[in-house]
Amino acid sequence: QNRTASSRVAKHGARSVSSLCGSGDVVEAFGVELELGPKGIAQCIEDAGIGFMFAPTFHPAMKVVRPVRKALGVRTAFNMLGPLLNPAHAKYALIGVYSTDISKLMADAAALMGIEKTLVVHSMGLDELTPMGPASIYEASGGAVTSYEIDPLDLGIPRCDVKDLAGGDAALNAAILRDVFGGARNAVADALNLNAGVALAACKCASDVKEGIRMAQEAQRSGKAGETLRKWVEASGEAKRVHGLE
């Protein structure tokens, strides 16, 4: 019997500082309440299977240094710290890095933090897995770090060009993702299913990456992902009303 994608996600992020659009900007454009405390996040994960921890809420120092980072306009150590400071203390993590120069450093740090399994990924100049070409993966598991490559072609994901993945501001990115969550089949959907499939395999919800991708594709193409987004928006609004920043 085929299994379905059902892993819970605790995402840690913020608004854009050194790029055009940050994860927090897109989440906000979806209509999700961004500024929730631990109780509200827990409620979202319970009700919708996903929660977003807004970094300045959980790490006040981030709020203090944000204007300086914005003024500098370049990546700093905070770009590396953010993914390692997830307040949920999840057992499994998928972290994208902007350069393979820091992949091992990030994986070594994750290994020291005692996370059960962390995958640090980079593909074709981007801080995520993409259909554009092979990806570098550093895996931290059981206190040890290994590295390897995967090629999306070997997993049934066709090649694309960077222009096929191009986004823009928060409103545009949210609109693109709404289409994908509603079942659209394009390069962005392929990228989403590739990343989700690898994550599902990493957290043992899938037996391997190919099964993880199949599970992700079923959820995405059927519109189940869009239904999860609707549940998340509703759950976050209720969590804000009941819990505020608690």
Radius of gyration of the chain (CA): 17
According to the model, what pLDDT value does residue 114 have?
87
- Nearest to 208, CA basis, from 219, 194, 197, 221: 197
Question: Mean pLDDT over all residues of the chain?
Answer: 92
pLDDT at 1: 47
In terms of DSSP H, where are the helices of 23-143? Answer: 23-30, 38-48, 55-58, 60-72, 77-84, 103-112
Measured CA to CA, the distance from residue 10 to residue 87 in angstroms comes to 9
Burial call 148-164: b when 16+ CB within 10 Å, e when fewer: eebebeebebeebeeee
Mean pLDDT over residues 213-238, rounded? 97
- Distance between alpha carbon 207 and the CA centroid of its chain, in Å? 21
Looking at per-residue confidence, does 238 or 63 come out higher? 238
Strand 117-123 and strand 135-141: the pairing is antiparallel
Q: Which residues contact 31 (CB under 8 A, 6 or more apart)?
A: 233
Q: Does the pLDDT at position 195 exceed 90?
A: yes
pLDDT for 44: 97
- What is the rounded CA–CA span in Å between residue 175 and residue 167? 10
Give the pLDDT score at 18. Answer: 67
Percent of the chain with pLDDT over 70: 97
Q: Can you give the pLDDT at residue 4?
A: 60
Pairing of strands 117-123, 92-96: parallel
Q: Which of the pair, 60 or 193, is modelled with greater confidence?
A: 193
38-84 pLDDT, tens digit per residue, is 999 999 999 999 999 998 899 887 777 777 777 777 777 777 787 88
* pLDDT per residue as tens digits for the range 105-154: 999 999 999 899 999 999 999 999 999 999 999 999 999 999 999 999 99
What is the pLDDT at residue 2? 52
pLDDT at 5: 66
Its pTM stands at 0.91
DSSP 163: G
Poorest-pLDDT segment among 13-17, 63-67, 166-170, 185-189 = 63-67
Q: 181 — phi, psi (to 5°)? A: -65, -25
- Burial class for 127, CB neighbours closer than 10 Å (0-12, 13-18, 19+): middle
At 15, is the pLDDT very low, low, confident or very high (cuts 50, 70, 90)?
Answer: confident
Q: Which residue has the tokens 């989700």?
A: 196
Direct distance between the N- and C-terminal alpha carbons of the chain, in angstroms, rounded to an integer: 41
Scanning 73-156, the segments in alpha helix (DSSP H) are 77-84, 103-112
